[in-house]
A and B are shown apart, each in its own frame.
Chain A
Amino acid sequence: MTTADIKAEILDILEVIAPDEDLTNLDDAVNFRDQLELDSMDFLDIVMELRKRHRIQIPEDDYIQLASMNSTVAFLEPLMKDIQKV
């Protein structure tokens, strides 16, 4: 997956997790928490959705990497570069 694919995938996951949120004006540099109504359960769901969809395991210590879109994509790039986009 390319960087753009990964970003699109994260947006898709956010849409599933938080269907009431408007994601069109999401600022990639700003923490999700400061723009969206997400709690710790939702962050767990981002991790779980990645595992369900792509078999990626993210250790709990790394959850903080998922703070913003930019940090999430940067963290996932090495883990997802060999995954085929479906």
Chain B
Amino acid sequence: MYDTIIIGAGMSGLAAGIRLAYFDQRVCILEKHITIGGLNSFYRMRGRDYDVGLHALTNITPKGTKRGPLARLLKQLRLSREDLQISPQLGSDIVFPGVRLHFNNDFERFRSEIAREFPKQIDNFDRLVTQIVEYDDLDETHQAVSARERLGELISDPLLVEMFFCPLMFYGSAREHDMDWGQFSIMFRSIFMEGLGRPYAGVRLILKHLVRKFRGLGGELKLRTGVDRIKVDNGHVTGVLLENGEELQARRVLSSAGWPETMRMCDDSQLVVSRATGRLSFCETIAALDVQPQALGHRSTITFYNDSEQFHWTKPDKPCDIRSGVICSPNNFDYGDELLDEGTMRITALANFDFWNGLDERKYALEKLRWYDHITASAVRFVPDYRHRVLDTDMFTPTTVVRFTGHDGGAIYGTPDKQFDGRTHLDNLFICGTDQGFVGIIGSIVSGIGMANMHCLRD
């Protein structure tokens, strides 16, 4: 009999597991996939290492900062800042026709860019920042206000509003067209006011620390162990039935599989109020280069681009929406004297799950090649053309996300309706991670910690 069973060994499940194992619970993490990481993982192909997820860690405050999500999670997981070896970004850009806003981990720089490109808006910008700073992420009363409405009241140039939404939606909006004010504020602080960084060794370093910590504390992790059903008796969870037919008992279950996905697993055949699945998914192209991107004149860490004045954050009616995207080069962090062996350019673009899901194998392979080219051709309008220096490429689509994480519709940020308190209709079943409300790597770790503290430790 386990004290807690955790479904999923992504960032949130691992973080929750560490908290519970540290406080001597019998805890087991069950992971369907052959490896850990979920939406943030890594693989090896044709002799090269690739990261999935992780463009950059958000919330990168300077060493010694005692406030904010990064400081909080290090404390809660008993990790030291040195463990994560985070190198800061060189600097990133938001590029729209005729306007480029540069930002790095010094917020003043971003402010001065806005003063230069949007001089009439700078006082409005300062007012916006004051409101964002005042937003209390532990108080949910303003959470659901429309960010578009708020911004409309504060900023009178619609182009600037779109330039804020483009990076913040790409990095964390499960909702189409708009964001909740709470989510907007959290993301704005995470990216512009705190900053971006990356460990030289990529996401595997973070995962290695998490899993080592969890196991070192006596936690059990079972890979290739999908949960088929959550066993319910009289409004109470008694354990889980695994895909391999085995049954495990637990006093409670914490699931990071997503809200609708978790509800479907419950075998109480109770009609749970259905919740829309997320509609926003991505394709991502990855290119390994025979040069460092800087040698081609590309210094930007992340480039968020959009090719018209209006940014469209919605499920595309085409296979991919190539009007906008995110270009990430993991080479462009300040690793000191070290350089990554090869250049890498990754491009993320919105994609339509239904299109990709409907293809047979041969057609799928062809469409991947076709859209790899479309996405790249669109992106090199905003960064130096690197296509003649490519050594190898790969690409993932919405169906890849489903295959490796089980999230319905390949929805990266889950359903638009979050369950902030993590509770379900059953008194000992809780959810954490993406559908609880915090997204991104740091966000999902904070979510795992928060839900473990709130629901699994206090008895």
Interface residues of A (CB under 8 A from B): 16-21, 37, 39, 41-42, 44-45, 48, 51-52, 60
**Nearest CB on B from A24, distance (A):** 16
Instruction: Name the 10 nearest CB pairs between A and B, nearest first.
Output: A37-B66, A48-B23, A52-B23, A20-B66, A44-B453, A52-B24, A37-B67, A41-B76, A18-B75, A41-B453
**Contact between chains at B72 and A41 (CB < 8 Å):** yes
Beyond A37-B66, A45-B76, A51-B23, whether A20 also contacts B71 by CB under 8 A is: yes
27 contacts between A and B (CB under 8 A): A16-B78, A17-B75, A18-B75, A19-B75, A19-B80, A20-B64, A20-B66, A20-B71, A21-B66, A37-B66, A37-B67, A37-B71, A39-B72, A41-B75, A41-B76, A41-B449, A41-B453, A42-B75, A44-B453, A45-B75, A45-B76, A48-B23, A48-B457, A51-B23, A52-B22, A52-B23, A52-B24
Kindly state the separation between the CA atoms of A60 and B459 in the bound complex, as whole angstroms: 10
Q: B450: which A residues are within 8 A, CB to CB?
A: 41
Q: Which residue of A lies closest to B458 (CB)?
A: A60
| A interface secondary structure, majority | helix
B428-459 vs A, Cβ < 8 Å mask (1 yes, 0 no):
00000000000000000000011001000110
Q: Please tell me the size bucket of the interface on B.
A: 10 to 19
Q: A17: which B residues are within 8 A, CB to CB?
A: 75
Given contacts A20-B64, A44-B453, A45-B76, 17 further A-B contacts (CB under 8 A): A17-B75, A18-B66, A19-B75, A19-B80, A20-B66, A21-B66, A37-B66, A37-B67, A39-B72, A41-B72, A41-B76, A41-B449, A41-B453, A42-B75, A51-B23, A52-B24, A60-B458
Kindly state the separation between the CA atoms of A71 and B278 in the bound complex, as whole angstroms: 49
Q: Which residue of B lies closest to A17 (CB)?
A: B75
Interface residues of B (CB under 8 A from A): 22-24, 64, 66-67, 71-72, 75-76, 78, 80, 449-450, 453, 457-458
Contact of B457 (CB < 8 Å), options: A18, A42, A44: A44
Q: Which residue of B lies closest to A44 (CB)?
A: B453
Q: B457: which A residues are within 8 A, CB to CB?
A: 44, 48
Q: Which residue of A lies closest to B446 (CB)?
A: A41
**Nearest CB on B from A26, distance (A):** 15
A17, A41, A44: residue with the most chain B Cβ atoms closer than 10 Å: A41
Q: B23: which A residues are within 8 A, CB to CB?
A: 48, 51-52
Kindly state the separation between the CA atoms of A42 and B67 in the bound complex, as whole angstroms: 12
**Nearest CB on A from B26, distance (A):** 14
**Nearest CB on A from B87, distance (A):** 20
Kindly state the separation between the CA atoms of A59 and B87 in the bound complex, as whole angstroms: 42
Q: A42: which B residues are within 8 A, CB to CB?
A: 75
Q: A16: which B residues are within 8 A, CB to CB?
A: 78
Q: B24: which A residues are within 8 A, CB to CB?
A: 52
Q: B64: which A residues are within 8 A, CB to CB?
A: 20
Kindly state the separation between the CA atoms of A22 and B23 in the bound complex, as whole angstroms: 25
Q: Which residue of A lies closest to B449 (CB)?
A: A41
Q: Which residue of B lies closest to A45 (CB)?
A: B76
**Nearest CB on A from B192, distance (A):** 22
**Nearest CB on A from B175, distance (A):** 28
Kindly state the separation between the CA atoms of A18 and B65 in the bound complex, as whole angstroms: 12
Kindly state the separation between the CA atoms of A84 and B451 in the bound complex, as whole angstroms: 34
Kindly state the separation between the CA atoms of A41 and B453 in the bound complex, as whole angstroms: 8
B24, B75, B76, B80: residue with the most chain A Cβ atoms closer than 10 Å: B75
Q: B80: which A residues are within 8 A, CB to CB?
A: 19
Kindly state the separation between the CA atoms of A37 and B64 in the bound complex, as whole angstroms: 12
**Nearest CB on B from A1, distance (A):** 21
**Nearest CB on B from A15, distance (A):** 11
Q: A18: which B residues are within 8 A, CB to CB?
A: 66, 75
Kindly state the separation between the CA atoms of A41 and B458 in the bound complex, as whole angstroms: 12
**Nearest CB on A from B78, distance (A):** 7
Kindly state the separation between the CA atoms of A51 and B24 in the bound complex, as whole angstroms: 10
**Nearest CB on A from B190, distance (A):** 17
Q: A44: which B residues are within 8 A, CB to CB?
A: 453, 457
